[in-house]
Amino acid sequence: MPLLQIKNLCVSFDTSVGAFMAVKGIDMSIEPREVLAIVGESGSGKSVSMLAVMGLLPKTATVTADRMAFNGVDLLGLTGEQRRKIIGRDIAMIFQEPMASLNPCFTVGFQIEEVLRVHMGMDRAQRRARAIELMQQVGIAEPAERLGSYPHQMSGGQCQRVMIAIAIACNPKLLIADEPTTALDVTIQKQILDLLMRLQAEHGMGLIMITHNMGVVAETADRVIVQYKGRKMEEADVLSLFESPKSNYTKALLSALPDNATGDRLPTISDFALDPEGATA
């Protein structure tokens, strides 16, 4: 049974100039212990579809799907209360801006323990012990002392580690990482990716990696979905995607990588004939 299964997901936003379709019928599924990467440029709807799964979209958004099931439970049929029990415990999410995702008014220890209190119902001593254990797992030195730090006293990389600690606090079955390293330096990015991959293997989580960086995809994913303007362009395992991309859009993306430059000009999207629904705009 797939961990998460989505069929024909559509998301539209009400705006002052009418409805805007951000996601136009996406199918996807992820198995337990699998790393799925969703790649796309801005406007591809890659974040929106995952936020729809989490139920985190604003009220102006309309979400429809033929099926959206987590571990066999239909998410669309749940009440808000039931859904919140799953989200944050069985499905966790981390975001691009680690500094902005943490509340600057509270210590990181408080923020980790809050999750444990809400979802696990632990007492004070248990929470403290578990928080220290989590900080160790995400590779923060002197965990007991650092629990008393405020987010602004930590670097971006450390904040992202704390976010990961909060995300894995309840042993989720699925972790969604939305551009987790985009705001970080390359050397820190490497550390965070290594950490995510290690935790994924240790905990046997499913991991959905949303990114625009082909390098990150190549370094982490088992399977890849390429999205463009709210539609799925291609789905393949990582090796065949890079070895023999099927859709023109994927080809264009890969050849636009400066690593793959052959002449002194890079091929651009317009050099490729794209699918009718494709990137001519």
Partner 1 sequence: MTQTVLQAKNLVRDYHVGGGLLTKARTVHAVKGVSFSVEKGKTLAIVGESGCGKSTLARIITLIDPATSGDLLIDGNKVDIAHSALTPEMRRKVQIVFQNPYGSLNPRQKIGDVLGEPLKINTDIPAAERRDRAMAMLKKVGLAPEHYNRYPHMFSGGQRQRIAIARALMLNPSLLVLDEPVSALDLSVQAQVLNLLADLQDEFQLTYVFISHDLSVVRYIADDVMVMYFGEAVEYGSRDAVFSDPKHSYTRTLFAATPRADVESIKARLAKKKAA
Partner 2 sequence: MSNETATLPVEAKARSGAFGEFWHYFSMNHGAVLGLIVFVLLVLVAIFAPLIAPHLPNEQYRDALLTPPMWHEGGKSTFILGTDAVGRDMLSRLIYGARYSLFIGLVVVVFSLTSGIILGVLAGYFRGWVDTLIMRVMDIILAFPSLLLALVLVAILGPGLFNAMLAIAVVLQPHFARLTRAAVMAEKNREYVISAKVAGAGHLRLMAVTILPNCLAPLIVQATLSFSNAILEAAALGFLGMGAQPPTPEWGTMLAAAREFILRAPWVVTYPGLAILITVLAINLIGDGLRDAFDPKLKRS
Contacting positions for partner 1 (CB under 8 A)? 41-42, 156, 185-190, 193, 201, 212-219, 238-239, 242-243, 252-254, 256-259, 261, 264-269, 279
The residue ranges that bind partner 2 (CB under 8 A) are 13, 15-17, 20, 22, 40, 42-48, 58-60, 96, 178-179, 182, 210, 212
- Residue with the two structure tokens 């995607």: 241
Instruction: Retrieve residue 171's tokens.
Output: 């042993």
Across 248-264, b (16+ Cβ under 10 Å) vs e yields bbbbbbbbbeeeeeeee
| Residue (191 or 213) nearer to partner 2, CB | 213
| Residue recorded with tokens 């793959």 | 260
Q: Judged by CB, which is closer to partner 2: 51, or 154? A: 51
Distance from C-alpha of 272 to C-alpha of 254, rounded to nearest angstrom: 12
Are the C-beta atoms of 242 and 218 separated by less than 8 Å? yes
Out of partner 2, partner 1, none, what residue 219 binds, judged by CB under 5 to 8 A for its kind, is: partner 1
- Both tokens assigned to 262: 């052959």
Helix, strand and coil content of the chain, in percent to the nearest 5, comes to: 40, 25, 35
Binding partner of 17, given partner 1, partner 2, none, CB within 5-8 angstroms per partner class: partner 2
Cα–Cα distance between 76 and 73 in angstroms, integer? 9
Contact 47, 19 (CB under 8 A): no
Report the nearest approach of partner 2 to the CB of residue 126 (Å).
Answer: 35
Distance CA 203, CA 33 (A): 8
Least Å from the CB of residue 146 to partner 2: 28
Nearer Cβ to partner 2, position 182 or 191? 182
Least spacing, CB of residue 217 vs partner 1, in Å = 7
3-state secondary structure of 187: helix
Taking the complex as a whole, the smallest distance from the CB of residue 241 to partner 1 amounts, in Å, to 9
The residue among 54 and 188 lying less far from partner 1, judged by its C-beta, is 188
Considering the complex, state which of residue 228 and residue 272 has its C-beta at the smaller distance from partner 2: 228
CB of 270 to partner 1, least distance (A): 8
Cα–Cα distance for residue pair 89/168, rounded to 1 Å: 8
Check if the beta carbon of residue 200 is closer than 8 Å to that of residue 178. no
Residue 244 C-beta: closest distance to partner 2, Å? 27
Residue 178 binds which of partner 1, partner 2, none (CB < 5-8 A, kind-dependent):
partner 2
Judged by beta carbon distances under 5 to 8 A according to partner kind, the member of partner 2, partner 1, none in contact with residue 48 is partner 2
